[in-house]
Structure 1
Amino acid sequence: MDVWNNIRRIIQLSDDEEDNESVLIFAALLEDQNFYQKRRCRDSILQGETYVMEILNGHRERCYENFRMYPEVFRILCSTLKDGTHIPATLPASTQLPFRGRKGYTTQNVMAVCDFDMRFTYVLAGWEGSANDSRILNECTENEAMNFPTPPAGKYYLVDSGYTNKLDYLAPFRGHTYHFQEYRRTRQPRGREEVFNHRHSSLRNIVERCFGLLKMRFAILRAMPPYKFSTQVLIVMACYTLHNFIKNQHQPDDIFDGNDPPQSDSEDDEIVEHVPSAQLREMDQLRNTIADQIWNSLLHS
């Protein structure tokens, strides 16, 4: 109160309005400092299980902030565990070269398959960032130990133009605009091949959205700490697993429920694969048949 009494006395003795205004602002700042003392927000002294329980029994948003999932989903995860894209990589300078991709920084190349429910059905992590996508796919399909799932008869994996249009893998027409975002930013598709590519990309866009959501939820995938590389690979696999787990719970989720999911920054590789000519002809014929059907339906609609 003594401070405010002195302030009133100063104002009464002064005829300058600007000086009076400055005095009032200064007084308000002093009063604010007296009433509001800055304190650390994250000041828990707990660790391990007791810290986790504190978060779970606290505010829901704090749980989401710390664990990237709400308490009810996290509790289901704990119960379950008791019962049973390129990702940045941090490596010693002597081993970085094979992991350095076209963008100049070190990454591990992660190959993944996802379904239209935004769940990953197959993930292989740990390949060098410089490894070609087709090379990784060939290793998966030719090595039985990899347990790579073959699509059912009459079904095909939708792959980007970095892969060959071969048996079981339906790729877009090369040499024509492909990526879904390019059509959204510029113009509508024109011609038979571009219409096919647009339809193809709009379906395959789901995997790009999955990669974007994954990196949005788990910041560690955008800036990997310098753990040993085998640990980095396990972290990537854990993040993919948690992505599927959260999706399977069908609970409200800020990231999955977002209106405009981010897109991944993946790029198409150059094809360096040798495929039997009979397979190429068979898949080219299939792609042409599908493209003709789509194009004809548009012409007669």
Structure 2
Amino acid sequence: MEGDQSSWSNDQVASSETILSGEQDFDEDKLNILLVWLSTAWLHRSMHRTELIRDSVLTGPEWVSELLHGHSDRVYEAFRMERHVFLNLCGLLKSRGWLADSRYVRVDEQVAIFLLMICHKNSNRAICERFQRSGETVSKYFGAVLKAVLELAKEIIVPPSFDVVPEEIRIEPKFNRYFNGCIGAMDGTHIHATVPECMQTRFRGKYYAVDSGYASSPGFLTPFKGERYHIPEFRRSGGPTTAKELFNHRHSSLRNIIERSFAALKNRFFVLRHMPPFKFEKQTQIVIACCAIHNYIIEQDRMDKHLSMYGDPDYVCEAIEQGTDDIVTTEEGNEMNIIRKRIANKMARDNHMPEIP
């Protein structure tokens, strides 16, 4: 054994000596290339060390905790709602089983991620930095909270009763004498629906006050075209002087509430003004979720700052009128024009103005 081991060592030494002495051919260029490659690899490794990118000392849970235990204005600025509303919302979503604490992310942080996404101009990357989470984690919990809020929307977004006159009309003399058939105001786009014959009776004589973007049709009371309409116009150039202008002024005052409601909604949720390029279905879900949270805030906090600002009847939103032809070719549409004329003439008589022929 010893002889064999000695023989092996001698062979190795002989081989090494042969290489070093140059007795065998050796490609020196390849050696230089190898040395350069090793040097480059070592330099690259020394300059690019493996380290965490999310290395802030203030993690997501710590930031949420600091916020909730800090000044109330910071909470409202971040979440567009007061501290108690945020905590109640988290508690409700959790108690209903729509959200649950995960191993690493509690419900309050999940909801905070969602609110910062819809209330502010924040990208996914900015949210990742704020909460020290990966993009995958942020997207995951944004989707989870969205799904939970859509469940809430089924309970909190309900149509008004067609048998109840809205309080804004019932208690206001300038409205209740003329618009007692009005069940609300509308803005934006409406969707056609076919009402079963057995339900049609409850809708007769009822209508929505709508702007000139709608055609005169059953259930939609439009203003007179070609006349002053928006409140700022009357403020700039004096009050109404004709029956049509008087009708338009009262109609606009009544509709101002829906314009203020949309203004409050869009001002609270930045995402409604600048929707990210989500799939269209997700975009519609986000709109519904914003409305649901807005309604929840109304229930929880009547003194909410946005509601206080836009709830003031004297706060006027400048509206862009989208006109349509005021030509009615259907019997049903003509019926609404007759109602409009009747209301306008009643206003004219009460205010000693000439009636519409």
TM-score (norm 2): 0.51
Please give the residue correspondences for 1:1-301 in structure 2 after superposition, counting only pairs within 5 Å.
Answer: 45-47=58-60, 51-82=63-94, 83=96, 136-137=189-190, 139-142=191-194, 152-258=203-309, 261=315, 263=317, 265-271=319-325, 277-299=330-352
Name the aligned partner's letter for residue 186 of structure 1: S
Please list the CA deviations of residues 36-68 of structure 1 after superposition, one character each: whole Å capped at 9, or x if unmatched. Answer: xxxxxxx77222x55434322322111101100
CA shift at 1:123, angstroms?
A: 10
Question: Do 1:209 and 1:262's aligned partners in 2 also have CA atoms closer than 8 Å?
Answer: yes
The percentage of counterpart residues that share the same residue type is: 39
CA deviation profile, 1:237-270 (whole Å, cap 9, x unmatched)? 2212111111122342221112675626543243
AA of the residue aligned to 1:46: T
Decide whether the 8 Å contact of 2:185 with 2:254 is kept in 1: no
Aligned-partner Cα distance in 2 for 1:284–1:261: 29
Aligned amino acid, residue 85 of structure 2:
V
Alignment match, 2:141:
none
CA distance in 2, matches of 1:152, 1:72: 39
| Secondary structure at the counterpart of residue 351 of structure 2 | helix
Instruction: Give the superposition deviation at 1:279.
Output: 0.8
User: Contact 1:159–1:171 (CA<8 Å) still a contact in 2?
Assistant: yes
Contact 2:208/2:221, CA 8 A, preserved across alignment: yes
**Matched residue of 1:256: which SS?**
helix
Aligned-pair CA distance for 1:205: 0.9
Distance of 1:245 and 1:55 partners within structure 2: 21
Please report how far the alpha carbon of residue 220 of structure 1 lies from its aligned counterpart in structure 2 after TM superposition.
2.2
1:203-237 per-position Cα deviation (integer Å, ceiling 9, x unaligned)? 01111111111121112222223333333222222
CA distance, structure 1, for counterparts of residue 201 and residue 233 of structure 2:
31
Which residue of the partner structure matches residue 96 of structure 1? Answer: none
Structure 1 stretch displaced more, 233-242 or 204-213: 233-242
Q: How many Å separate the matches in 1 of 2:333 and 2:259? A: 26
Post-superposition offset of 1:184: 1.8
CA contact (8 A) 2:213 2:323 kept: yes
Matches of 1:261 and 1:142 in 2, distance apart? Answer: 36
Q: Work out whether residues 155 and 168 of structure 1, in 8 Å CA contact, stay in contact via their aligned partners in 2.
A: yes
Report the Cα distance in structure 1 between the residues aligned to 2:269 and 2:68, rounded to whole angstroms.
19
Structure 1 spans left out of the alignment, 5+ residues:
1-42, 85-112, 125-132
- Cα deviation 1:111-151 (Å, max 9, x = unaligned): xx99777xxx9999xxxxxxxx6xx53x432499xxxx997
2:296 and 2:268 map into 1 onto residues whose CA distance is 13
Specify whether residues 76 and 165 from structure 1 end up closer, same or farther in structure 2 by C-alpha distance, changes over 3 A only.
Answer: same
Task: Give the alignment's Cα RMSD to 1 decimal.
Answer: 3.5
Higher-helix-fraction structure? 2
Aligned equivalents of 1:72 and 1:268: distance in 2?
A: 40
1:141 partner amino acid: A
Contact 1:209 1:264 in 2 (8 A): no
Q: Decide whether the 8 Å contact of 1:212 with 1:261 is kept in 2.
A: no
Partner of 1:33: none
Q: Provide the secondary structure at the position in 2 that maps to 1:255.
A: helix
Distance 2:316 2:88 in 1: 27
Stretches of structure 2 lacking an aligned partner (at least 5 in a row): 1-55, 99-158, 161-165, 169-183
Contact 2:215–2:324 at 8 Å: present in 1 too? no
> What secondary structure sits across from 2:85 in the alignment?
helix
1:44 to 1:141, Cα distance in 2 relative to 1, 3 A: farther
